Amino acid sequence: MSAAEGPLVVGVDSSTQSTKALVVDASTGRVVASGQAPHTVSSGAGRETHPRQWWDALCDALRQCGEAAHEAAAVSVGGQQHGLVTLDGRGEPVRPALLWNDVRSAPQARRLTEELGGAKFWAERTGSVPAASFTVTKWAWLAEHEPEAVRATKAVRLPHDYLTERLTGQGTTDRGDVSGTGWWASRTEAYDEEILAHVGLDPALLPRVAGPGEIVGTVRDSHDLPFSKGTLVAPGTGDNAAAALGLGLRPGVAVMSLGTSGTVYAVSQRRPADPSGTVAGFADARGDWLPLACTLNCTLAVDRVAALVGLDREAVEPGTAVTLLPYLDGERTPNLPNASGLLHGLRHDTTAGQLLQAAYDGAVHSLLGALDLVLDEDADPSEPLLLIGGGARGTAWQQTVRRLSGRPVQVPEARELVALGAAAQAAGLLTGEDPAAVARRWDTAAGPVLDAVERDHETLARIAGVLSDAAPLLRRPTDTH
């Protein structure tokens, strides 16, 4: 390992399918070591992972970093949002965690919205209208379907909270991740006692919300991790807030993240409250806000279509007649939790490559539908759209986003932005800097800019028409067994 210019920090990305750890030079942003380990997600009606898999994967990823991790002075964990982790009195998981893309709580989301003043109440109180992804709906589902698990629960955590607590022994979260639970009031920045009482959740079971830049503890000596004694631990945050830190995002710049899920978001200094439920009014990890819209079906759905038609994911062909709504896991934007995929316009001359392009078009259409709602009114539409995530380097994804958005697209060269954002947060503990300023100093958003092309209004209108016409079918419950 070559000599670092400054202290080393560790940034962690505990995502849906794997955990990654980066050891980063806090002075330059250079990644000096990395590691990655997978975890599994259940199939069928639910999406669950046992939290111990995250911890085992974190330990494995850190061991792969070798001596560099031992030299690190601070660590921070970014993690998948919304997941419900229930712990017993010994801090052990009561049951596997319910993940963000588990849509079994869609009925509870509808009921909670109706029972507590409707969508406007929730948007004003928490910044968001409950969807099946939100933690509060998962707790309500658990109380209804597994009351014995609720009775055994002595602590409730989010995925990143669980890992941070395993590191420090202290139950903490941060404003970015907690804003996606549905039980944190964005107006007062405190747990909402009325909502908690309504769902029967004792606030004493919840972690303390640490402030931006706070040291939440040091790594404990009680486990075999390659950290030195006294390594500082930052609050961590949710994956989207961590990626925003990793980009050094300034207000008004739009981000489209192409991963298992797809998201569009931007930093704003105005507290969001969208009663339509399209935009989630999340907090960021710094003190501003992160209005965000999310789709459940992005790269995973497109890759599944590619596999079904036996093509490489880049083997798209142009076509104007076929429409594919790739709602393979239900959908969140638009809010259709019970939907399944829908194909319209199939002809004898339709090719497999056209079907694949239609899957890309359907996924990007969902994201672009929320982009204008995410951005502040004074945002400059000529600014490049930052394209990140696993799909961002795919030519088919890039060209589809350009064609359907009509905007220039910039693809940052930096990889693992969630882990880099966590590393920037850890570096901020050492330098006293704003983590976003740290990332800008590291120049993480640098990358090629693809010029704007004429917007394909015809395809957008066709998809919108099919979506409208098929609404009754898409809202019909689907038998998943």
Would you state the pLDDT for residue 1? 47
- Flag residues of the chain having pLDDT under 50: 1, 480-481
Q: pLDDT (tens digit, 9 = 90+) per residue, 393-447?
A: 999 999 999 999 999 999 999 989 999 999 999 999 999 999 999 999 999 999 9
Q: Do residues 163 and 14 touch, judged by C-beta distance below 8 A? A: yes
CA–CA separation, 117 and 122 (whole Å): 7
Q: pLDDT (tens digit, 9 = 90+) per residue, 142-182?
A: 999 999 999 999 999 999 999 999 999 999 999 999 999 99
- Alpha-carbon distances, residue 240 vs 131, 249, 357, 448 (angstroms): 17, 11, 27, 22
- Closest by Cα among 367, 371, 415, 418 to 392: 415
CA–CA separation, 20 and 3 (whole Å): 23
Strand-pairing partners, residue 190, are: 185
Would you state the pLDDT for residue 479? 58
Model confidence, pTM: 0.87
Please, what is the average pLDDT of the chain? 94
CA 2, chain centre distance (Å): 33
Residue 311 CB burial class (10 angstroms; 0-12, 13-18, ≥19): middle
- Residues serving a catalytic function are 239
Neighbours of 260 (CB within 10 A): 22
Neighbours of 158 (CB within 10 A): 29
